[in-house]
Structure 1
Amino acid sequence: MLLLNGKPFNQKDFEDSLNRAATASVAKHFRERLGSVRHPDTGEFPTIVIEGDSIDDMGIRVEGSTELLALVRERISPEETAMFSFKETAKMDAPRAFLSYGEADRDLAKTIADRLQGAGIDTWWAEWEIGAGDSIRRKIDSGLRNCTHFIVLLTESSLASTWVNEEMDAGFMLKVGNQCRFIPLRWKLRPEDLPPTLQGMSSPEIDERGNTLKQLVDDIHGINKKPPLGQAPVATTYPRTGYSPAATAIAKLFVDASEHAMYADVQLKAADVVQRAELSLEDTEDALHELRHYLEVHCRDTVLVKSSLYTEFDKYWRDWNPIDDALRLAADLVNDPEMPHTPAEIANRYKWSARRLNPAITYLKEREAVEVRTSLGSGPFVVTAIGANGATRRFVKSRTA
Structure 2
Amino acid sequence: MTSDKKVFISYSNNDRDFADRLANALMALGQDIWFAKWDIQPGDSIISKIFEEGLANAKAFAIILSKESVRSSWVREELNQATMYRIENLVRVIPIIKEDVEIPMALRTLHWVDMRTDFDSGVRTIFNVLNGVSEKPPLGETPAHLKAIVQPVAGLSRLASTVGLHLLRATDVDEPFMRAVRNKELADALHLTPTELNDAVDELESQGLAETNKELGHHPFDFGSVEPTYLLHHAMSGFLEYKPDNDVKVVISAIAALDSAEGPELKQHTQLSSGRLNRAVEYIKDHGYADVLLALGTAPYGFMLVRATRATRQASLD
TM-score, normalisation: structure 1: 0.36
Structure label with greater radius of gyration: 2
TM-score, normalisation: structure 2: 0.45
